[in-house]
Structure 1
Amino acid sequence: MISHRLGLCRSSVFRVLKRQGLSRLHALTPKEPVVRYQWDRPGQMLHIDIKKLGRIDGVGHRILGRQAAKPRHAGWEYLHVCVDNASRMAFTAILPNEKKQSAVLFLRQAVAYYQRLGIRVERVLTDNGACYQSFAWRDACAELGIKHRRTRPYRPQTNGKAERFIRTAMNEWAYARVYTHSHERTAALALWINGYNSIRSLSALGRISPAKWLSVNGNNVLELNS
């Protein structure tokens, strides 16, 4: 042990290692290089994920602070997101849970949305959540002719495009303003996602919007609203 060899107590050694960011064994393991990949055609790979959100029934502790906010638990709702790998065109829906029925419903809604844009979905990538391992999900993918891939365990970065989209949505939509009810937040989502798809310029697309990218690449964008 380090403390024994140096003649120091364990707490002193731990404090020094913690200051250097070396207090855990995993800190000594080199980080895996980030492998970025881009599919050529829209629909070749969709990234799907879910974000748990607290329901809103009045202004909560994020705005008023924990002491001022009234203690209550309004429950949860779940933001299901889907991002096309090639075009970054995104589709979202707020559903009551993350169970297999909601996951399958969202998959069907997403496929229908991309079909309206002239995109045929070939593959989807998800994490290893229970809903994505269910027979209902498997059967829905088979029915729709979609190949399903799951991320490696403990490797959320594999689905990084969905993860990044969720972080952006949280910063610019979910926590960007004060909502007094979940209905207000849901209504704001429709406006935000439309702006993201039709106006926002993305560096990964050469500083153009997902809708513009689809137009430039020969896709007929029929409808941007989910």
Structure 2
Amino acid sequence: MDESMRHDIALFRYGLIAPLVNGQVEPKTYLKEVSERVHHVPHQGDKRIAAKTILDWCTRYKKGGFDALKPKRRSDRGHSRRLSPDDEDHILALRKEHPTMPVTVFYEHLIEQGEIPKNHISYFTIYRLLKKHNLVGKEILPMPERKRFAYDQINELWQGDLSHGPTIRVHGKAQKTFLIAYIDDCSRLVPYAQFFPSEKFDGLRIVTKEAVLRCGKPKRIYSDNGKIYRSEVLQYACAEMGITLIHTQPYDPQSKGKIERFFRTVQTRFYPLLELNPPKSLDELNERFWKWLEEEYHRKPHASLDGKTPHEVFQS
């Protein structure tokens, strides 16, 4: 098993234990619900995870951090423990007849046809064999679950997103901008937001770092399925800090209502100010935005906060 596979499996394991580690759920109820579900484990296929196994992962994470969740390396790497050379040749020949079939389906097909005995040859044994011979295609992952939010404590959850910003003129040339932001679900305070000239991950890295430094660490980050929010770097950073990273279903902006509403507020209350006096650089745009954010948005009574300001609720 290469390091990339070990890393993917560790991220999956962290996703299951994060609610327990962060104290977000009642352990007994959560363990019962999770152990009864079938999970798609990266590189290993669909399987159930016993409550005892989940608790073991929690213990390992608390003692050794993220790296402790990675599967241990095998001493007989590169060799199947249960497939003979003849078995391998036969399975490879069958695979070449169905080269585009997802490995999970191919594995189930082998069992159904009696090619391999059930509960004797693991999914990963087949996956490793196929990968070694470059016979692994892309697999379709299950849709993430829809979540509902109603938190009454700050830093329980931050919603994150990216929005197209105004086009500014720099030295006579038009330049697109993109606003990346987080908003605290409870207080509607914006831990940090900034305009960037592109939609690349570097912008999200800066915003995430500044938000945590200024307002502390959230228990959860909730974002869409955009490429930068699916970044392995962000997943790893959240796992290291003990943050649960949750993604919305595609084309479902309503599930991130608070950050979407903040972007509309920026569009209706801040952008008109730029029309009167257009910024001459990206730095000037951000300086004016941060001033508006602190002096206007954070200090203005919010209808969803019983007339209190985001600043007052966050500080309380």
TM-score by length of 2: 0.48
| Equivalent pairs, count | 165
Deviations 1:106-150 (A, max 9, x none): 2111111112xxxx3111111110111121111121122211111
Q: Helix, strand or coil for the counterpart of 2:161?
A: strand
Matched AA of 1:164:
R
Matched AA of 2:253:
P
User: What does residue 64 of structure 1 align with?
Assistant: none
User: What does residue 109 of structure 1 align with?
Assistant: 210
Q: Distance in 1 between matches of 2:203 and 2:298?
A: 27
* CA deviation after TM superposition for structure 1 residue 202, in Å: 0.4
Report the RMSD for the aligned CA atoms in angstroms: 2.1
User: What does residue 309 of structure 2 align with?
Assistant: 209
Contact 1:174 1:185 in 2 (8 A): no
Identify unmatched segments of 5+ residues in structure 2: 1-146
Once the two structures are overlaid, the 10-residue window that deviates more, 124-133 or 181-190, is 181-190
Contact 1:101 1:136 in 2 (8 A): no
Contact 2:175 2:197 in 1 (8 A): no
Q: Distance in 1 between matches of 2:287 and 2:210?
A: 18
Contact 2:168 2:177 in 1 (8 A): no
Q: Distance in 2 between matches of 1:54 and 1:171?
A: 12
Contact 2:156 2:218 in 1 (8 A): yes
Equivalent of residue 53 in structure 1, options 144, 151, 165: 165
Equivalent of residue 218 in structure 2, options 113, 116, 121: 121
User: What does residue 280 of structure 2 align with?
Assistant: 181
Q: Distance in 1 between matches of 2:298 and 2:261?
A: 18
* CA deviation after TM superposition for structure 1 residue 180, in Å: 4.4
| Distance change (3 Å), C-alpha of 1:198 and 1:153 | closer
* CA deviation after TM superposition for structure 1 residue 73, in Å: 5.2
Structure 2 residue 259 is the aligned partner of structure 1 residue 162: yes
TM-score by length of 1: 0.66
Contact 2:167 2:175 in 1 (8 A): yes
Q: Distance in 2 between matches of 1:173 and 1:48?
A: 19
User: What does residue 150 of structure 2 align with?
Assistant: 38
Contact 2:194 2:207 in 1 (8 A): yes
Matched AA of 1:49:
D
Deviations 1:175-217 (A, max 9, x none): 33321424443222011100245421001111010111133x3
* CA deviation after TM superposition for structure 1 residue 36, in Å: 7.1
Q: Which has the higher helix share?
A: 2
Larger Rg: 2
| Distance change (3 Å), C-alpha of 1:40 and 1:173 | same
Matched AA of 1:93:
Q
**Counterparts of residues 5-24 of structure 1 (less than 5 Å):** none
Matched AA of 2:301:
S
Equivalent of residue 98 in structure 1, options 192, 196, 199: 199
